[in-house]
Amino acid sequence: MKKIASFLIVALLITQFSACKKKEASTLPNLHLDYFPLEQGRYAIYDAQEIYHDDDSGIHDTTNFLLKTVIGEIYVDNLGRNGREFERYKSYDGGTTWQQTDIWATFSNNLQSELVEENQRIVKLIFAPTKSKEWDINSYNSYAPQMAFYENIHAPFFINGNGFDSTVTVVQADFFSLVDYQKQHEVYAKKVGLVEKYYKDLVIENFDTLQPKTGREIFYRLIDFGIE
């Protein structure tokens, strides 16, 4: 009888421990890390446009192309962190031929996701996305501080015939004055990553955003994605 009682007590303790572990696992927060997926071979293709303005030189130059990004092999930075190569290709003939233009690096953990662009580390996302979160995207580089925040969290988004059930919008700049116009945001979709980039950093005159004096405009709109 003592052996049976001891066995029942042990079994009860194991059951209670297992139940506690399941409850603990079920209450872990969802950080929504899949807004920045880094599976090797994952690619995205964008309809891209870049515009350069220099009114004093009579230059308002527009370039249209396709941009393809691919998550590459494991990359270890000088801090010993494991990330991924971030390959960039451009096509000026509708995708018939591609030319590799850059190999950047990207990192992601339970706190944030980063992209190293031209040796400058940019904090793209902070996890988990909430309306209260705000961060300096340039906190690890030499650029001036630039605060970002979330809008349209877990909202549906449609672009170029593609529909996504859950996206977040990262607002990186929204400033308008007599002589400056800065409007920048990026949209990320779950299990896809970046689906839209909207970037305007312009010097203007008399609040006129349609006739910029100097500056750049960059627009990416996703048209295809998958895993190679």
Q: What is the pLDDT along the chain (228 residues), one digit of tens a residue?
A: 444 444 444 444 445 545 555 544 456 789 999 999 999 999 999 999 999 999 989 899 999 999 999 999 999 988 899 999 999 999 999 999 999 999 999 999 999 999 999 999 999 999 999 999 999 999 999 999 999 999 999 999 999 999 999 999 999 999 999 999 999 999 999 999 999 999 999 999 999 999 999 999 999 999 999 999
| DSSP per-residue string spanning 89-130 | EEESSTTSS-EEEEEEEEEE-SSEEEEEETTEEEEEEESS--
- The CA distance from 141 to 107, in Å, is 15
Q: Can you give the pTM of this predicted structure?
A: 0.87
